């Protein structure tokens, strides 16, 4: 008797447990399981929805372009009522390009993957940028980016390190074969926008540049991982372009082009448009880019680049640390650049300035439009296994001036060049730089090793307060 009772209890228990399991599963299938979400953002949202609410299917095969467009359209109605958040749950969400809206957050679950469609008709063609006059790959228009927004305010793209996969291999192949009529798309482009946050995401295999904020202000980019094959064409990491008040931090980039490229328009188009990139902070960036720079300034800099503060940069197997790229016809300026703290390993050049970078928009560039390169400060740099310490080439009749280098220790590779420094048409000063730099960087003696400027006053972007947003959702 006692035995049977026990059996009954166990049997009933098992039935109960399995029922509960079925209930749990059913709830999840019906979209009922609560999900806790918490993150820091420039703004929290009053309304929240899932891409599934708009017919999205995360099976990696169904095209969701319409679902994304419908979601953003519907949620844009909440812009003046506390804003809205679109959550992308776990799954593979194939989609063509879609546009964002104001007072809006796109949030990617940690196991969410946005997969860029490889059908070219999913990528409408838009006008070239006015400050470029042309597409970057080809004259005329350009394919719109996967995630695009223009004339927006208060827009957030974030997640728990969810993934946006550009599936770029097809584009790279078509580009190499010269088969594309228009310029390749970017992964994320925001134009004419104010108050932008892009954070905690992984971006894979962009067709071209990864993140391109342009003609925008008050931008925070943080916690981004960008991965692309080191041989993929023009897969720049992050390209702030004619933007002001930007903070870019805590990011890890492996790419086939510059990890960060600071820009402001191209030749006569950029000069005419006249919109500089200014007040930019780049902090705690790790870069691997064997054929390009950790941070490039230019080559498109015709609207000017001013007040860039670069701190705590790590680069490994990267062609150069900081590179200034410009040329006759660019006009514009690169000035008040401050670099403090770089750790570099296995580099071709630590310092590189190029005054004869070609790559013109067209043949109408003005040969009298000379760039002004002035006030470039580098301090506290340690580099190992370097082929050339510096190649600094200004422009004849237009020297690059006010270059300052202090507290720099460069360990040369076994197979390094005989002359670790080559300098032409530049002027500046140095202190405690090893190996001893070229004569054009006049040595001020070892006591001045802390001499190169780095601003101590903060920028407005530093005082933006992040809010803690938390949601309990049914995904
Ligand atoms: C997205 O914005 C661009 C530029 O304003 C526009 O050409 C395009 O039609 C928009 N796409 C959708 C789906 O609304
Ligand atoms: C977006 O803003 C720019 C710059 O202010 C303006 O020239 C353009 O007309 C605006 N576009 C739209 C669609 O409002
Ligand atoms: C985000 O994901 C990428 C790719 O899986 C990984 O390399 C990176 O370490 C992750 N970042 C964080 C903060 O977890
Ligand atoms: C986002 O990344 C930061 C580090 O950059 C980390 O402190 C934070 O916890 C992350 N947030 C989420 C929601 O993963
Ligand atoms: C030094 O750099 C060379 C390439 O210039 C590379 O082949 C070698 O592995 C590097 N050595 C170390 C110790 O990283
Ligand atoms: C020189 O740079 C190192 C880091 O590379 C730093 O620890 C040290 O404080 C710097 N010295 C001076 C005088 O600034």
The pLDDT confidence band at residue 17, using thresholds 50, 70 and 90, is very low
Average pLDDT over residues 14-37: 49
State if residue 127 touches ligand 2 by the CB under 6 angstroms criterion. no
Which helix (H) or strand (E) segment is 175 a member of?
Answer: helix 169-176
Quick one: pLDDT at residue 15?
Answer: 42
Q: Is the pLDDT of residue 235 over 50?
A: yes
CATH of domain 28-226+455-475: 2.160.20.10
Q: Where in the chain is the domain with CATH 2.160.20.10?
A: 28-226+455-475, 258-444
Q: Is the pLDDT of residue 5 over 90?
A: no
In this structure, whether the domain defined by 258-444 belongs to CATH 2.160.20.10 is answered with yes
Which one is predicted more confidently, 407 or 418? Answer: 407
Task: Tell how far the Cα of 206 is from the centroid of ligand 2, in angstroms.
Answer: 27
User: Do 51 and 25 meet the contact criterion of CB atoms below 8 Å apart?
Assistant: no
Average pLDDT over residues 287-301: 98
- Find the ligand nearest to 319 CA: 5
Nearest residue (by CA) to ligand 2, atom 12, is: 151
Structure tokens at 68: 């994304």
- Look-up: residue for tokens 């546009």? 99
Q: Which atom of ligand 1 is nearest to the CA of 98?
A: 13
The pLDDT confidence band at residue 329, using thresholds 50, 70 and 90, is very high
User: Do 213 and 240 meet the contact criterion of CB atoms below 8 Å apart?
Assistant: yes
Quick one: pLDDT at residue 32?
Answer: 54
Q: Is the pLDDT of residue 27 over 60?
A: no
Where is average pLDDT lowest: 18-27, 210-219, 223-232, 320-329? 18-27
Residue 457 CB contacts under 8 Å (≥ 6 apart), including other chains? none
Quick one: pLDDT at residue 139?
Answer: 87
User: Dmax of the chain from CA atoms?
Assistant: 106
Which one is predicted more confidently, 54 or 136? Answer: 54
DSSP bridge partners of 430:
405, 443
pTM for the model stands at: 0.93
Q: Which atom of ligand 5 is nearest to the CA of 414?
A: 1
The pLDDT confidence band at residue 279, using thresholds 50, 70 and 90, is very high
Quick one: pLDDT at residue 30?
Answer: 43
Q: Which atom of ligand 5 is nearest to the CA of 345?
A: 14
Phi/psi at 52 (nearest 5 deg)? -65, -30
- Find the ligand nearest to 314 CA: 6
State if residue 223 touches ligand 4 by the CB under 6 angstroms criterion. yes
- Look-up: residue for tokens 């838009």? 126
State if residue 149 touches ligand 2 by the CB under 6 angstroms criterion. no
Mean of pLDDT over the chain: 93
Quick one: pLDDT at residue 415?
Answer: 83
From 35, 38, 40, give the residue whose CB has the most ligand 4 atoms within 8 Å, as the site to mutate. 40
State if residue 346 touches ligand 5 by the CB under 6 angstroms criterion. yes
Q: Is the pLDDT of residue 268 over 70?
A: yes
* The length of the chain, given as a count of residues: 475
- The count of other CB atoms within 10 Å of the CB of residue 129 is 25
- The pLDDT tens digits of the residues spanning 169-227 come to 999 999 999 999 999 999 999 999 999 999 999 999 999 999 999 999 999 999 999 99
Q: Is the pLDDT of residue 337 over 80?
A: yes
Quick one: pLDDT at residue 12?
Answer: 45
Structure tokens at 350: 């630590």
Task: Tell how far the Cα of 192 is from the centroid of ligand 2, in angstroms.
Answer: 7
Cα 248 vs. chain centroid, distance in angstroms?
8
Which residues are known to be catalytic?
257
State if residue 111 touches ligand 3 by the CB under 6 angstroms criterion. no
DSSP bridge partners of 35:
473
Average pLDDT over residues 319-323: 98
∠ CA 295-348-445, rounded to 5°: 80
The pLDDT confidence band at residue 138, using thresholds 50, 70 and 90, is confident
Task: Tell how far the Cα of 156 is from the centroid of ligand 3, in angstroms.
Answer: 19
State if residue 123 touches ligand 1 by the CB under 6 angstroms criterion. no
Residue 91 Rama label (left phi>0; alpha psi -120 to 50; beta): left
- The count of other CB atoms within 10 Å of the CB of residue 428 is 23
The pLDDT confidence band at residue 417, using thresholds 50, 70 and 90, is confident
Nearest residue (by CA) to ligand 2, atom 14, is: 151
Burial environment of residue 36 by CB neighbours within 10 A (0 to 12, 13 to 18, 19 or more) = exposed
Quick one: pLDDT at residue 26?
Answer: 32
Quick one: pLDDT at residue 20?
Answer: 39
The pLDDT confidence band at residue 452, using thresholds 50, 70 and 90, is very high
State if residue 250 touches ligand 3 by the CB under 6 angstroms criterion. no
Q: Is the pLDDT of residue 352 over 80?
A: yes
Residue 465 CB contacts under 8 Å (≥ 6 apart), including other chains? none
Average pLDDT over residues 112-133: 96
């Amino acid at each position: 008797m006692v035995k049977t009772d026990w059996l009954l209890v166990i049997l009933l228990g098992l039935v109960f447990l399995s029922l509960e399991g079925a209930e749990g599963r059913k709830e999840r299938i019906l979209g009922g399981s609560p999900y806790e979400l918490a993150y820091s953002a420039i703004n929290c949202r009053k309304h929240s929805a899932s891409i599934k609410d708009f017919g999205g299917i995360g099976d990696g095969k169904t095209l969701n372009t319409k679902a994304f467009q419908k979601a953003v359209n519907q949620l844009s109605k909440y812009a003046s009522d506390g804003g809205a958040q679109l959550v992308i749950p776990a799954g593979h969400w194939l989609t063509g390009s879609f546009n964002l809206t104001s007072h809006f957050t796109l949030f990617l679950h940690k196991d969410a993957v946005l997969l860029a469609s490889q059908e070219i008709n999913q990528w409408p063609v838009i006008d070239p940028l006015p400050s470029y006059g042309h597409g970057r790959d080809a004259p005329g228009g350009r394919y719109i980016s996967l995630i695009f927004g223009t004339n927006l305010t208060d827009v957030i793209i974030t997640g728990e390190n969810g993934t946006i996969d550009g599936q770029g291999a097809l584009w790279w192949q078509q580009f190499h074969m010269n088969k594309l009529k228009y310029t390749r798309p970017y992964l994320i482009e925001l134009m004419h926008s104010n108050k932008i946050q892009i954070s905690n995401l992984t971006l894979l295999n962009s067709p071209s540049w990864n993140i391109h904020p342009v003609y925008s202000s008050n931008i925070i980019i943080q916690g981004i991982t960008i991965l692309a094959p080191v041989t993929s064409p023009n897969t720049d990491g992050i390209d702030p372009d004619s933007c002001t008040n930007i903070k870019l931090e805590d990011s890890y980039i492996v790419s086939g082009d510059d990890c960060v490229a600071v820009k402001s328009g191209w030749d006569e188009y950029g000069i005419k448009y006249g919109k500089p990139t200014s007040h930019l902070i780049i902090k705690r960036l790790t870069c691997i880019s064997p054929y390009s720079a950790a941070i490039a300034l230019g080559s498109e800099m015709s609207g000017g680049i001013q007040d860039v503060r670069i701190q705590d940069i790590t680069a490994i197997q990267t062609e150069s640390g900081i590179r200034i790229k410009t040329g006759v016809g660019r006009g514009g300026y690169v000035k008040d650049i401050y670099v403090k703290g770089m750790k570099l390993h296995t580099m071709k050049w630590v310092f590189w300035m190029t005054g004869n970078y070609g790559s013109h928009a067209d043949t109408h560039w003005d040969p009298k439009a000379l760039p002004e390169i002035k006030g470039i400060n580098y301090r506290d740099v340690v580099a190992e296994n370097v082929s050339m310490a510096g190649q600094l080439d200004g422009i004849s009749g237009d020297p690059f001036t006010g270059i300052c280098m202090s507290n720099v220790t460069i360990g040369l590779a076994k197979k390094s060049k005989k002359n670790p420094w080559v300098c032409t048409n530049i002027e500046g000063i140095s202190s405690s730089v090893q190996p001893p730099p070229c004569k054009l960087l006049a040595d001020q003696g070892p006591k001045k090793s802390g001499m190169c400027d780095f601003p101590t006053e903060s920028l407005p972007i530093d005082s933006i307060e992040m809010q803690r947003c938390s949601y309990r959702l049914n995904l």
